[in-house]
């Protein structure tokens, strides 16, 4: 049974979140939360538009190549309001309008988020790879999507790292530089080293690091 794309009612609308009633049959309702305006909802896209759409955000596995041949996965503790905790988190953020106008929107967003959340500037000699251009988060309740990228950055001085670029409601509390052993333990246990749970995006970034490095 497909949805009637003409039967979409806006139930709530604010700057960052909207809620819609997707009527899939007469008297039958499915509710969706989205960051998108009504005209930009994924459900309204044609097959061609769907296959070419940009995601809402990027999540980046930032891998640091350090002196002496050491390789570390860069993560941080970021305050996540819905759970009221600082959670082990990867570099991530929404695409800005300027990113969408870029020849490489996902890479543009990744470079900006890396700078804002870690203080690092991606150099021409560094490498950024798009691993998944658009993956839906929880399509049972939202059309929000993320691209997953990997950024390999050669870094000579850890003193460059800082969290001074936090934007808006973002709050950070320090970095973690994970080697394979520590990353594997966190990945396998589903808990950080403080015993706390973390997001599915963090779990995916850990798996990227463990499978590629």
**72 lies in the same domain as 176:** yes
**42 lies in the same domain as 74:** no
Residue 140 to residue 56: CA distance in whole angstroms: 17
Mean pLDDT of 19-23: 93
Asked if the structure places residue 1 within a domain, the reply is no
Residue 76 to residue 175: CA distance in whole angstroms: 4
Residue 183 to residue 11: CA distance in whole angstroms: 42
Dump pLDDT digits (tens) for 73-116.
999 999 999 999 999 999 999 999 999 999 999 999 999 999 99
**162 lies in the same domain as 115:** yes
DSSP 156: S
Q: Phi/psi at 20 (nearest 5 deg)?
A: -125, 150
For residue 123, what is the domain's CATH number?
3.90.79.10
As for how many domains the chain has, the answer is 2
Which residues pair with residue 31 across a beta bridge?
Answer: 21
The whole domain housing 99 covers 57-212
**43 lies in the same domain as 111:** no
**128 lies in the same domain as 80:** yes
Dump pLDDT digits (tens) for 134-162.
999 999 999 999 999 999 999 998 988 99
Mean pLDDT of 1-30: 86
Whole-prediction pTM value? 0.93
Q: What 3-state DSSP class applies to 173?
A: strand
**150 lies in the same domain as 75:** yes
Residue 26 to residue 56: CA distance in whole angstroms: 31
Residue 205 to residue 89: CA distance in whole angstroms: 9
**156 lies in the same domain as 92:** yes
């Amino acid at each position: 049974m497909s949805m009637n794309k003409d039967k979409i009612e806006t139930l709530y609308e604010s700057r960052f979140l909207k809620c819609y009633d997707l009527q899939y049959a007469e008297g039958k309702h499915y509710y969706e939360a989205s960051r998108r305006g009504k005209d930009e909802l994924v459900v309204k896209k044609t097959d061609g538009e769907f296959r070419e759409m940009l995601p809402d955000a990027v999540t980046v596995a930032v891998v640091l190549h350090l002196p002496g041949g050491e390789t570390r996965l860069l993560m941080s503790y970021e305050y996540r309001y819905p759970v009221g905790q600082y959670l082990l988190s990867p570099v991530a953020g929404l695409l800005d309008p300027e990113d969408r106008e870029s020849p490489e929107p996902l890479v543009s967003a990744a470079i900006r988020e890396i700078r804002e959340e870690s203080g690092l500037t991606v150099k021409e000699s560094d490498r950024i790879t798009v691993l998944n251009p658009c993956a839906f988060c929880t399509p049972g309740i939202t059309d929000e999507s993320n691209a997953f990228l990997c950024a390999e950055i050669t870094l000579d001085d850890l003193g460059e790292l800082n969290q001074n670029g936090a934007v808006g409601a973002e709050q950070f509390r320090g970095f973690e530089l994970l080697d394979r052993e520590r990353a594997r333990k966190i990945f396998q246990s589903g808990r950080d080293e403080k015993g706390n749970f973390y997001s599915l995006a963090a779990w995916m970034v850990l798996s990227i690091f463990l499978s590629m490095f």
